[in-house]
Chains A and B, each alone.
Chain A
């Protein structure tokens, strides 16, 4: 059973960079999953941010691509999210998620989520 745990600051100032890390346990980050970030603003729906494969290949949401970097650290079995130039609109619950991709694509393991507020 793969377990995911997000960590990082809960408060970020406007124009600064949001940084989160997701620790993976119960499985290897070098497995055939895409490791993803999904966010959910308070009271709103889910938004895919982007994903990374253990090879380093990435895909990003076009609406966030200019501000997003997702990286993987195989030695620590974790992956990370950086979102630059944040505004209040980036306030959300951020989830790290394991995605299975073959003939189907689905998110089968979710972290509990971490709330990040953008405020001065």
Chain B
């Protein structure tokens, strides 16, 4: 079955740029999507498609894809960006959906 691999934890200094990566074989047919989750809250979609942001998501969030790696970049990280970030994708051959294990982002 398809799997998506994320680093468990990443830290970034306030105002600096951080990239969170997601590796897997599921990106052949669908782009990864990215979710931010803060304690006690439901996940929030931050990036979908090639590099699209839902309404209300700051433009410091961006996404990219290269081969079997999807990336979420936060340019100028803010304290409120702390939380867990999950990637997600659908495998078109099996129609199964997978999540990465999540990356805990700390803003120093």
Contacts and interface: CB of A to CB of B under 8 A. Distances in A.
State the majority secondary structure of interface residues on B. strand
A95 interface: yes
A89 to B, nearest CB: 17
A104 B98 contact: no
A51 B88 CA distance: 14
A105 B43 CA distance: 16
Interface residues of A, number: 24
Chain B residues touching A, range: 20 to 34
A108 B45 contact: yes
A108 B47 CA distance: 10
Interface in A48-106: 48, 51, 59, 61-62, 95, 99-101, 103-106
Nearest to B26: A105
